[in-house]
Amino acid sequence: MEIADWRKKIDEMDEEIVQLISKRAEAAKAIGELKQKSTLPVYEPARETEVFEHVKSINPGPLSDEQLVDVYIRIIDVMRMLQRRDS
């Protein structure tokens, strides 16, 4: 495959990733609303640890577990900001 072919594949994957991140954001917003009603904190370090452990357990590579967790730290940070903004 040529570079252009790989870039086309990446563009297609990015479209899928954006759709999944949007679905995750909708779920995070719904959880944020429930937390607000229940006066639960937005930041739950134990839950974040569970997420990190889960994604590491299903990581097929080539990203290392540390690299994958770095990506998820940012995703969760953005989701947390979304929950705070909407609460």
- Under 8 Å CB-to-CB from 49, ≥6 apart: which residues? none
Chain-centroid distance of CA 26 in Å reads: 11
Question: Of 1.10.3720.10, 1.20.59.10, 3.30.590.10, 3.40.220.10, which CATH number belongs to 3-86?
Answer: 1.20.59.10
pLDDT for 87 beyond 70: no
> Residue 85's pLDDT is what?
85
**Residues 27-77 pLDDT 10s:** 999 999 999 999 999 999 999 999 999 999 999 999 999 999 999 999 999
> Residue 86's pLDDT is what?
62
pLDDT band for position 79 (50/70/90)? very high
Q: What is the rounded CA–CA span in Å between residue 74 and residue 69? A: 9
